[in-house]
Amino acid sequence: MAGAAAGGTTPPVVLDRPGQRSADGSGRSTITGSSVRIGDKVFQGLAAGSGGILLVVMAAIAVFLVWKAIPAFTDNEGNIFTTQTWNPQASPPVFGMAALFFGTVVSAFIAMLIGVPIAIGIALFISHYARRRAATALGAVIDLLAAVPSLVFGMWGLYFLIPQTQGFQKWLSDYFGWLPFFDNQTATTAGQYGKSLLIAGIILAIMIIPIVSAVSREVFLQVPRDTIDAAWALGATKWEMIRTAVLPFGRAGMISAAMLGLGRALGETIAVALVLNSGFRINWHLTEPGGDTFASTIALKFGEAGGSPVAIAALIAAGLFLFVITLVVNSAARIVIARRKEFTS
């Protein structure tokens, strides 16, 4: 072999397969139109079709809700936006969405106010404070909490949370009654406190904690290691590192997690229906019994509306309002997230 090399024998040349040598002879692989397989085109078509199906389904739901809700707008003697009455089976029908909108927004706001800070705190603890075993165990518990059915939360709230918080609600009314939110003008003893928007908000807060915590935890774990090391190198404490490196990076992710939680809070049905007394009025006293949401009203009134087309249309109109609110909230969240380039999914 040494003699062959000395004699100038040219080594064999391995030819590239057609379509794999670039035009400039550099040897870099190229993919031409002729080398694209049929399977690639099929997969591309299926992927595009899946996205198209989603848009078609959304459009079909919107068209159905608008079409079926038309009698609620044409046959209603009340103002569907401001009337605080629900009597679609009367002659003439009178009903409105004001009380439902108020109850839905207020209960979801209470849930966000309580649940989101707790969920973010849990996510920070799991991702940056807890030891590996503790973080794994706590993460499993949080994920398990997300699998608990809504009915269980509602029954727990009805038979445990309400009796245990009656004294607390009375204390709020006695010492913070100068705030309209906590003033109760109907109850004189602790036993008269019960099903209220405050309790509904607390139940919803517990229900949104798992999803907000899980998403936030994954976002915090995506913080670049170089960013964290740079904070340590500058002498930052643990909290300073989190405040200057972790939270700015995860801001858009936290907003996304909060919007997912808000979506569940707005649409929750059974749990809210079990811990609220229907009243169909706007009541700023959150500890007083009474309150309605779009989802709970649809669930509770659907069985009574079977013989009345207008009553069915009224419930579908409530679903349309909830559909629009959800779209607006999620669209606003997407706009906020799009402006935050630190977080990429």
SS3 of the chain: the string is CHHHHHCCCCCCCCCCCCCCCCCCCCCCCCCCHHHCCHHHHHHHHHHHHHHHHHHHHHHHHHHHHHHHHHHHHHCCCCCCCCCCCEECCCCCCEECCHHHHHHHHHHHHHHHHHHHHHHHHHHHHHHHHCCHHHHHHHHHHHHHHHCCCHHHHHHHHHHHHHHHHHHHHHHHHHHHCCCCCCCCCCCCCHHHCCCCHHHHHHHHHHHHHHHHHHHHHHHHCCCCHHHHHHHHHCCCCHHHHHHHHHHHHHHHHHHHHHHHHHHHHHHCCHHHHHCCCCCCCCCCCCCCCCCCCHHHHHHHHHHHHCCCHHHHHHHHHHHHHHHHHHHHHHHHHHHHHHCCCCCCC
Q: Which domain holds residue 173?
A: 75-338
Residue 95 lies in a domain: yes
Give me the number of domains the chain comprises.
1
Q: Is residue 308 part of a domain?
A: yes
* CATH assignment at residue 233: 1.10.3720.10
The label of the residue with tokens 């309002």 reads: 321
Please check whether residue 189 lies inside any domain of the structure: yes
For the chain, the average pLDDT equals: 83
Digit-coded pLDDT (tens) for 63-76: 999 999 998 888 88
- Say yes or no to pLDDT of 233 above 80: yes
pLDDT the model gives residue 315: 92
- 120 pLDDT band, cuts 50/70/90, is very high
Confidence label for 18 from pLDDT (cuts 50, 70 and 90): very low
Using the predicted structure, report yes or no on whether residue 57 has a pLDDT greater than 80.
yes
Q: pLDDT tens for residues 245-272?
A: 898 888 888 988 999 899 899 989 899 9
Residue 22 lies in a domain: no
Cα separation, 176 vs 245, whole angstroms: 39
Q: What is the pLDDT of residues 269-298, one digit of tens each?
A: 899 999 988 888 888 888 888 888 999 999
Distance CA 268, CA 238 (A): 37
> Looking at the domain assignment, is residue 262 inside a domain?
yes
Stretch among 17-21, 50-54, 252-256, 290-294 having the lowest mean pLDDT: 17-21
Q: Are 205 and 111 in contact (CB under 8 A)?
A: yes
How far apart are the C-alpha atoms of 144 and 133, rounded to whole Å? 17
Residue 172 has pLDDT above 80, yes or no: yes
* pLDDT at residue 37 in the model: 77
289: buried, middle or exposed (CB in 10 Å: 19+, 13-18, 0-12)?
buried
Residue 3 forms part of a structural domain: no
Per-residue confidence at 9, pLDDT binned at 50, 70, 90?
Answer: low
Question: 333-344, pLDDT tens digit by residue?
Answer: 788 777 765 444
Mean pLDDT of 240-247: 90
Q: Give the Cα separation of 233 and 236 in Å (integer).
A: 7
Q: What percentage of the chain reaches a pLDDT higher than 90?
A: 32
Q: What is the average per-residue pLDDT within 227-256?
A: 88
Q: Which one, of 267, 268, 229, 258, lies nearest residue 334 by Cα?
A: 258
In whole angstroms, give the CA distance from residue 311 to residue 88: 5
Burial (CB < 10 A; 0-12, 13-18, 19+), residue 26, is: exposed
**pLDDT(316) > 60:** yes
Checking if the pLDDT of 80 tops 90, the result is no
Reading the block at residue 241, the tokens are 């590192």
Out of 46-60, 166-180, 294-308, 327-341, least confident range: 327-341
The 10s digit of each residue's pLDDT in 205-215 is 999 999 999 99
pLDDT band at 303 (very low <50, low <70, confident <90, very high): confident
Q: What is the mean pLDDT of residues 289-315?
A: 87
Structure tokens at 166: 């009656």
| Most confident stretch, 104-113, 162-171, 247-256, 290-299 | 104-113
Asked if residue 55 is part of any domain, the answer here is: no
- Of 105-119, 236-250, 300-314, give the lowest mean pLDDT range: 300-314
Residue 15 token pair: 């030819």
Give the CB-side neighbour count of residue 223, counting CA atoms within 13 A: 25
Taking the whole predicted model, whether its pTM rises above 0.85 is answered as: no
Domain-located, residue 103:
yes
- Of the candidates 109, 147, 143, the residue with the CA atom closest to the CA atom of residue 123: 143
Angle at CA of residue 214, ends 212 and 218, nearest 5°: 115
Q: Residue 285 in contact with residue 257, Cβ under 8 Å?
A: no
